[in-house]
Amino acid sequence: MFHRPFDTAPENAKDAQSKETESEAASSTANSPKETYSQTPETSSSASSDMLDWEDKPNFDIEKFTQLPYTNFGVNQHMIIDREFKEVMRQLLWRFRAPIRYAFAYGSGVFPQAKGGTPTEAEIKAIHPKAPLAVQKAQDGSPKMIDFIFGVQHTQHFHSLNLRQHRDHYSGLGSLGSAAVSWVQDKWGAGVYFNPYITVDGVLIKYGVVNIDTLCSDLSNWDTLYTAGRLHKPVKILRDHPQVRLANQINLMGALRTALLLLPPTFTEKELYATIAGISYLGDPRMAFPTENPRKVANIVDHNMLNFRRLYAPLIESLPNVEFDDPACSQDDWIYNTDSIVKLQQDMDPVKRGNMVRRLPKNFRGKLYFEYQKKFQIPQLEFNKMMDESKDEDAGSFKRQQGGGFERRIAQDEPEALRSAVRGVIKKTINWPSTSQSIKGVFTSGISRSARYMGEKLTKYREGSKASDKEKSS
């Protein structure tokens, strides 16, 4: 039996004074390790059917957190970090006059991926010219640039205001004006515009700007997996948005189901989280060059087990075809014991796995269907008819998310063949957007900042290679 050690609902904002006030109240559960979450809505006789089938009929036409499927919906997305560090990062957002509707901080600058030493004052200042003590303590002896993603409602409006206030954040591209900057952001790559190596209040940051609609589409459909992949891992949400929270819950469910298709009947939670964390790196061209730490995925999982549990344990509990299968889970506080790597098992029944295929994110699922159309040699007219009959838009009930004969046939493919097909679709989804986004970075960041970025990546690669070699020889 899986015991949920935290089980209270967050307080949604009432009579909120601002979007951030509402966001803060809506995520208030994630304030203490002993405060809890639950992903199960109340199931009283008065409960609305819309609350119980949110995944089948997601309503993105919402403006308030109270319009989410149920009170504590998506609270698993909020990671618990040091309060003072969180407040420092929230204050950094207020240094931008341009409206930021959604924001999260991510990466090793927020969630350390290795135990650091004791840096000298000069080493700290080389990264953060005037770092608050909370930043130094949170980064645990390894001072690093802090990465942010800003979700904005109107791309050009944001850049117009931001160029006036922070022209120095932009490369020469900024001299062409907000229209050019927003065009490059929205039309090139994955729809994100990065400004790296920016010092704000003595803290070195990088921030990427993405339109809320682009973000929600990638989260719910897996258009590029560029922002969706970042949110497969633990991040610290600093400003929440109801539409993004809903879309990200779909994203997390998609990541979990995709990982299950790639895993055998029994596996450890470490293998599960490593599979999920590795999705966004499968098609990333940077992984083919000596610019990324080869131990990146292992480091992310090894040092963030508690956060991965917080993110995915409630979702695992909600699925009918996978469960924790370990005596350790009988302990009420097992989730806090990161030394214990528990086991899971999944039901390989083709009907249940076919349903799982049917519930993959829409664009990603369509690409997988196309691969199997070719493999099964299904005539185009027959395939088109089959797809028309199963379109999400054609049905308004739970039936639309049930797998049919085609999905069950996919699920019954040889395990290694299915894994290969899924990996291939992931690579095709990620490769070009990530490649073009990297090329775009040279123009948006400028030559000097791009060179600095590549230099730091090469250093990380060498450090990771040394660690890997040491592990192999020991």
Query: pTM of the prediction?
Result: 0.88
Same domain, residue pair 243 and 262? no
Both tokens assigned to 90: 């929230």
114 in a domain, yes or no?
yes
Q: To the nearest whole number, what is the mean pLDDT of the chain? A: 85
pLDDT at 58: 87
Give 117-165 pLDDT, tens digit per residue.
788 899 999 999 999 999 999 998 889 999 999 999 999 999 999 999 9
pLDDT at 20: 60
Same domain, residue pair 122 and 183? yes
Q: What residues pair up with 267 in beta bridges, in sequence order?
A: 344
468 in a domain, yes or no?
no
Domain that holds residue 179: 19-30+56-250
Domain's final residue, options 250, 277, 310: 250
Same domain, residue pair 134 and 230? yes
Backbone torsions φ then ψ of 364, nearest 5 degrees: -65, -45
Same domain, residue pair 203 and 294? no
Query: In terms of DSSP H, where are the helices of 69-211?
Result: 83-93, 121-127, 133-138, 155-165, 178-187
38 in a domain, yes or no?
no
424 in a domain, yes or no?
yes
Report the amino acid identity of residue 444: T
311 in a domain, yes or no?
yes
Same domain, residue pair 385 and 396? yes
Give 248-288 pLDDT, tens digit per residue.
999 999 999 999 999 999 999 999 999 999 999 997 776 66
Same domain, residue pair 230 and 171? yes
Same domain, residue pair 158 and 172? yes
Beta strand 146-152 with 203-211 is: parallel
Among 199-208, 289-298, 445-454, the range with the most confident prediction by mean pLDDT is 199-208
73 in a domain, yes or no?
yes
Same domain, residue pair 197 and 299? no
The percent of residues in the chain predicted with pLDDT above 90, rounded, is: 64
Give 48-79 pLDDT, tens digit per residue.
444 447 887 889 999 999 999 999 999 999 99
Q: What residues pair up with 207 in beta bridges, in sequence order?
A: 148, 195
Same domain, residue pair 189 and 301? no
Same domain, residue pair 285 and 210? no
Report the amino acid identity of residue 98: A
Structural domain count, the chain: 2
- Name the DSSP class of 145: P
Mapped onto helix, strand or coil, the DSSP state of residue 195 is strand
Q: What residues pair up with 151 in beta bridges, in sequence order?
A: 102, 210
Domain's final residue, options 207, 228, 250: 250
Same domain, residue pair 201 and 277? no
448 in a domain, yes or no?
no
Same domain, residue pair 240 and 160? yes
Give 332-385 pLDDT, tens digit per residue.
889 999 888 899 999 999 999 999 999 999 999 999 999 999 999 999 999 988
- Shortest CA distance to 286 belongs to which of 105, 420, 454, 440? 454
| CB distance 333 to 310 below 8 Å | no
| CB distance 258 to 278 below 8 Å | no
Residue count of the chain: 474
| CB distance 335 to 313 below 8 Å | yes
